[in-house]
Structure 1
């Protein structure tokens, strides 16, 4: 049985599943570290060029039940320590009210991603634990594109309503990406969610962007796969099943 609950807090603006036990918590503020960049504008087709082509939107509309309210619900839960690394990184999960995502379900998904042996615990340096109260390293916040844009903008980042960012102790996840994935990524939505968490948490623990290591090879988790794969194959995980780090050339 899960012993969990949620509490509403004000927003700061400008695999494995485990049993969770309740506690009380608080909410942090924002300032930089990140991966976002401006989303290039779509080119308009020439007016005289037949046949006429309708320019598609950058991605499908997010599957949400309403506009974000600017407040967040926090899962009141404590999970087990995942991994054996000396650096324990405690984290919280919060979901913006009004976007139609269950906070408990989201927390279990994030927890399962970080517990997966293909995720960051395999580096032997880091371990992770879901918490509500006490000290913590970062908060995963799933929010509307508008709220993500506002919070990321406090660090001078332009997420363009499309991408995620890592600001201070906040891993900001765009609900549009969480719900619909990316047209550049070939795989189920669960894999794309893993890519989001692995990429942004990778920044939290000191990793920078990487590029494609070669045609047909797995794209690194630290590659900005939403902008294209450069001949690589979609991949959500920093490590292989055998514990090999999937790296690529350094990118800004």
Structure 2
């Protein structure tokens, strides 16, 4: 991305004046969230929760938007990232569009670059041998990745029966909704790896779109699965944002109802 996020997010408070009110956003509330999971016909699944990990290779993607105005609500209309990407993965690609809500101080191109890099990573969902993706800006699509203000995320996610509480992301119908709060502040477990956490958000919510449900930590000291609700705690696992490891093995754990 084009601008750098000031370090020390664990102590960061982003203040913005909206309609005369000053809103303070602190990462300390990241661990408080409710769980919800709404089933849809496979492979479409609906989920609520933010996720993303570290050791990301997206070094060319800048860490964050400006720390100026970060609105808690927006108009609910979006700007589409222009251009597109090559196909990644095998098989017929799922075509997706990247959109950013109007009024958010984040470049749609920067968000698209992070999403593309995440979905193209060999540790991502293409490692399953049959998932493929291609970003487009026009024509028919299979799903949309949308970065939006907390209020807009809440509204869209509620259409799928989810209560995101202004704090988390969701996958509902054909929309992967990314909460601006999480995109900027990550969570307490990723204060030093915001870029990685963004990849976890994408991998977790796209994973739900592909039909994957929540899982838990497989064991003390093991990598936390991408489909684990890591925002609630790592339960002895270590941070990890990728669905697969470097050897192409699925990182998973016991299913969570």
**Residue 71 (1) aligns with residue 77 (2):** yes
State the TM-score, normalizing by the size of structure 1: 0.74
Structure 1 segments (4+ residues) deviating >3 Å: 184-187
Aligned with 1:36 (options 39, 48, 73): 48
Instruction: Please give the residue correspondences for 1:124-135 in structure 2 after superposition, counting only pairs within 5 Å.
Output: 124-135=129-140
1:214 maps to 219
* Alignment: residue pair count: 197
SS in 2 for 1:198: helix
| TM-align CA RMSD | 1.8
User: Which of 1 and 2 has higher RCO (CA within 8 Å, sep 6+)?
Assistant: 2
For residues 64 and 97 of structure 1, the distance between their equivalents in structure 2, rounded to whole angstroms, comes to 15
CA displacement 1:185-221 (0-9 Å, x = unmatched): 4651111001000000001111110000001100000
For residues 130 and 166 of structure 2, the distance between their equivalents in structure 1, rounded to whole angstroms, comes to 34
CA displacement 1:100-141 (0-9 Å, x = unmatched): 110011101100110000100110011100011222110000
SS in 2 for 1:148: helix
Extract unaligned runs of 5+ from structure 2: 1-38, 50-65
State the TM-score, normalizing by the size of structure 2: 0.73
**Residue 166 (1) aligns with residue 171 (2):** yes
Bigger Rg over Cα: 1
Give the direction of change, closer, same or farther, for the CA distance of 1:64–1:238 in structure 2 (3 Å limit).
Answer: farther
Q: 1:97 deviation in Å?
A: 1.0
